Amino acid sequence: MAQQHPDVQHPAGAAPALTAYLRAQATDFLRAQTGSAGGGPAQGGDSAPALRRAARRIGATLHTFHAAFDPAWSAGLRRELAWFSGALAQERLHAATLRRLQAALQEPPGDLGAARAAALLERRLTLARGRAHSAVLEALGSARFHALADAVALLGGEVPLRGDAAACAVLREQAGTAEVRLADAVAALPAGPGPDADPATDPDPGPYGDALPYGDAGPCQGRPGDGDGDPAWHQVRLLLRLHRYAVEALGGPVPPRLVAAARALDRHRDAAEAASVAAAAARTPRIAPATAYALGNLHAHQRHEVLAARHAFHRTWQSLPRPRNTVTVP
Amino acid sequence: MAQQHPDVQHPAGAAPALTAYLRAQATDFLRAQTGSAGGGPAQGGDSAPALRRAARRIGATLHTFHAAFDPAWSAGLRRELAWFSGALAQERLHAATLRRLQAALQEPPGDLGAARAAALLERRLTLARGRAHSAVLEALGSARFHALADAVALLGGEVPLRGDAAACAVLREQAGTAEVRLADAVAALPAGPGPDADPATDPDPGPYGDALPYGDAGPCQGRPGDGDGDPAWHQVRLLLRLHRYAVEALGGPVPPRLVAAARALDRHRDAAEAASVAAAAARTPRIAPATAYALGNLHAHQRHEVLAARHAFHRTWQSLPRPRNTVTVP
């Protein structure tokens, strides 16, 4: 994959922010890869978050500003970064899910079977995390990873910007496109709570406003289900990440509310994952009814966490300036 | 109990509203008791709501304006009204719980065992409702009920106000006391969402604001538990009812937001009951794990409904004028 772009130019004055950003991310990646003070990921050190962070940002930047790079080269590098980030993300997700479900079951006020449910989930998730960890170690030791690291090392020295794409206006347009794609995806989500709901005219829209189906139709009609609506939200999470990294890449300040919105979507994904893990665990053959009861409870709680995260996202998003068809990236 | 008050007076000019109110409620009670068009409660007619409604209002009025009546007489009548309303309320609660849980299980998106859980709950609640219905029929046929109806009939003719208590100022003071007791009880509840939460400084207070424990501390710490906090809320519900009926009794307009707040507390009680019924059903011996899972799910959903109702109450309550130590009843 480490095919070098044929039309490399120094970014003399053009998009120096983008170049500096990619270089900095590449440097972070390499530093995390070799491991600071000998505690690299292969030795069980905690450099995985730094590796994941840098790999995600490099891949996102190549994606958003694709016109600035040779298509074949950037597609190849992105594919390899996606492969490697995917392996790291899998391990992180299992660990986060285990933490989340353990926390949820730690204080079980009267729940039947909570301890057995916790033990069951711990067994399942520890196993899954172990497998994911092995996959990461295997990836780190592979020739494929070393080729990826070589390609990132080249990026750390010299960013292969195409000459015709180095104009600031083009880069800003591409960042603007990422922002508009995000806004469109958010607009396609179910409506959030209105900004000026009035308890007099609308005495009980439920805790999540219009986003949630607690209405007069019944207490649980259309209640927090089992993830039918999740994919659209996961997509918004990815688009928000692309937008955020595009702002970073062009040197713009990332609004704290954007970070808060991203955190809400991370929580959304984690809770959705935890809910489906709880549901899957309940299908274990021969579990005790009390264990199944606790898992059912847990599943519902996590689905409510999903809805709470959606509410938090809408709330934060509404306080952000609307980018629609305007390029607000500096 | 139908001991007549010894100091009966015509309410010449004093508290005519209170007198008219009690008379109207007594008339409603008697009309419902004899049954309109031969379909009384003993024949399975639907006059139970009207009986309950009138009995509750008469009892509450005697309670709030206790200084206006002979203590022994009003205590006796209140005790009998409470006995009878209690029997009616029990039947209504079982019916409402069954409806609520059936609705919740009607659209089970992927839940395991929802149909079996629904069947189990229906069996249990139908049985309980049948017992409660028998108790109501038995009460309606009893000498005790006929004595109660006689006492209410007397009230419909002549309201036994004490002469020294008939002054409007005294009645208003007593209504004010009911209002202050309610405000104190609400103030003692866990805090509701702040009126001006700012998503920037407080990016994620959770869907219920401060009233709910979705915080940075963890997704499920202090999550909707199993009713430890319910009694304080049930108490507020009763105090709100007393306040509302006191406003009605003195002829004041009942603010729609007060009615909305009362509805939220009714929903709170119904959801709390439904949650505990689901938890109790999960303790049925030898149920299938899938059934237990569905009941756990249901329990958690209902506990979230409890929290949603608390949120709705706080939201409505905050929009009501604060009565603290002032008598706003006309």
Instruction: Say which of A219, A256, A297 has its CB closest to residue B103.
Output: A219
Q: How many CA atoms lie within 13 A of A282 on its CB side?
A: 33
pLDDT, average across residues B28-57? 76
pTM: 0.80
Judged against a pLDDT cut of 90, whether residue A192 lies above it is answered with no
* DSSP state, residue B41: G
Portion 151-210 of A in contact with B at CB < 8 A: 199-200, 203-204, 206-208
User: In chain A, which residue ranges form alpha helices assigned H by DSSP?
Assistant: 16-34, 48-64, 71-106, 114-140, 143-157, 168-187, 230-249, 256-281, 289-318
Q: Which residues of A108-129 are buried (b: 16+ CB within 10 A; e: fewer)?
A: beebbbbebbbebbeebbeebb
Average pLDDT over chain B, rounded to an integer: 82
Dihedral angle computed from the Cα positions of residues A203, A209, A213 and A215, in that order, rounded to the nearest 10 degrees:
10
d(CA B138, CA B317) in angstroms, rounded, equals 40
According to DSSP, the residues that pair with B31 across neighbouring strands are none
- Of B92, B71, B85, B72, nearest to B25 by C-alpha is B85
Residue predicted with more confidence, A190 or A293: A293
CB contact under 8 A, A228 and B204: no
According to DSSP, the residues that pair with A218 across neighbouring strands are A215
Q: Around Cβ A49, how many Cβ atoms within 10 Å?
A: 12
Q: Which residues of A touch B308 (CB under 8 A)?
A: 206-207, 214
pLDDT of the residue at A40 = 47
Q: What band does B224 get if pLDDT is binned at 50, 70 and 90? A: low
d(CA A158, CA A176) in angstroms, rounded, equals 25
pLDDT, average across residues B154-163? 84
Judged against a pLDDT cut of 60, whether residue A50 lies above it is answered with yes
Angle A256-281/A230-249 helices, nearest 10 degrees?
150
CB contact under 8 A, B293 and A298: no
pLDDT of the residue at A166 = 66
pLDDT of the residue at B268 = 97
Q: What band does A259 get if pLDDT is binned at 50, 70 and 90? A: very high
Portion 235-294 of A in contact with B at CB < 8 A: 256-257, 260, 263-264, 267, 270-271, 279, 282-283, 287-294
pLDDT of the residue at B226 = 64
Cα four-point dihedral sign B53, B54, B55, B56: positive
**B300 close to A (CB below 8 A):** yes
Q: What band does B31 get if pLDDT is binned at 50, 70 and 90? A: very high
Residue predicted with more confidence, A125 or B7: A125
DSSP A64-89: HTGGGS-HHHHHHHHHHHHHHHHHHH
Portion 94-123 of B in contact with A at CB < 8 A: 100, 103-104, 106-107, 109-112
CB contact under 8 A, B296 and A293: yes
Q: What band does B234 get if pLDDT is binned at 50, 70 and 90? A: very high
First CA to last CA across chain B, in angstroms? 33
Q: What band does B174 get if pLDDT is binned at 50, 70 and 90? A: very high
pLDDT of the residue at A88 = 95
Residue A255's Cβ-count burial label (10 Å; 0-12, 13-18, 19+) is middle
Q: What band does B46 get if pLDDT is binned at 50, 70 and 90? A: confident
CB contact under 8 A, A100 and B282: no
Least confident of A99-113, A149-163, A207-221, B3-17: A207-221
Contacts of A262 (CB under 8 A, 6+ apart): A237, A240, A241, A244
Instruction: Say which of A104, A208, A293 has its CB closest to residue B293.
Output: A293
Shortest distance between the Cα of A82 and any Cα of chain B, in A, equals: 29
Percent of chain A with pLDDT over 70: 77
| Range picked from A181-195, A305-319, B96-110 for highest mean pLDDT | A305-319
pLDDT, average across residues B249-253? 90
Asked if B199 contacts A277 with a C-beta cutoff of 8 angstroms, the reply is no
- Degrees, nearest 5: CA angle B174-B180-B181: 90
Look up tokens 């899957």; give the residue.
A280
Contacts of B3 (CB under 8 A, 6+ apart): B72, B73, B76
pLDDT of the residue at A204 = 41
Secondary structure of residue B27 in the 3-state scheme = helix
d(CA A32, CA A220) in angstroms, rounded, equals 48
- Complex confidence, ipTM: 0.77
B136-145: pLDDT as tens digits: 999 999 999 9
According to DSSP, the residues that pair with B9 across neighbouring strands are B161
Asked if A252 contacts A243 with a C-beta cutoff of 8 angstroms, the reply is no
Q: How many CA atoms lie within 13 A of B267 on its CB side?
A: 25
Shortest distance between the Cα of A183 and any Cα of chain B, in A, equals: 19
Shortest distance between the Cα of B199 and any Cα of chain A, in A, equals: 6
B89-129: pLDDT as tens digits: 999 999 999 999 988 887 655 587 898 999 999 999 999 99
CB contact under 8 A, A295 and B293: yes
Q: What band does A226 get if pLDDT is binned at 50, 70 and 90? A: low
Q: What band does A109 get if pLDDT is binned at 50, 70 and 90? A: low
CB contact under 8 A, B206 and A312: yes
- Degrees, nearest 5: CA angle B223-B225-B226: 175
Judged against a pLDDT cut of 80, whether residue B7 lies above it is answered with no
CB contact under 8 A, A288 and B287: no
Q: Which residues of A touch B300 (CB under 8 A)?
A: 296-301, 304
Judged against a pLDDT cut of 50, whether residue B17 lies above it is answered with yes
* DSSP state, residue A207: T
Judged against a pLDDT cut of 50, whether residue A289 lies above it is answered with yes
Judged against a pLDDT cut of 70, whether residue B209 lies above it is answered with no
Q: Choose the mutation target among A302, A303, A304, A306 for the interface with B, i.e. most B CBs under 10 Å.
A: A304
Residue predicted with more confidence, A40 or A67: A67
pLDDT of the residue at B222 = 37
pLDDT of the residue at A185 = 97
Q: What band does A161 get if pLDDT is binned at 50, 70 and 90? A: confident
Instruction: Say which of B107, B228, B282 has its CB closest to residue A109.
Output: B228
Taking one residue from A and the other from B, the number of pairs with CB-CB distance under 8 angstroms is 198
Q: Which residue of B has its CA nearest to A108?
A: B225
Contacts of B171 (CB under 8 A, 6+ apart): B15, B18, B65, B68, B165, B250
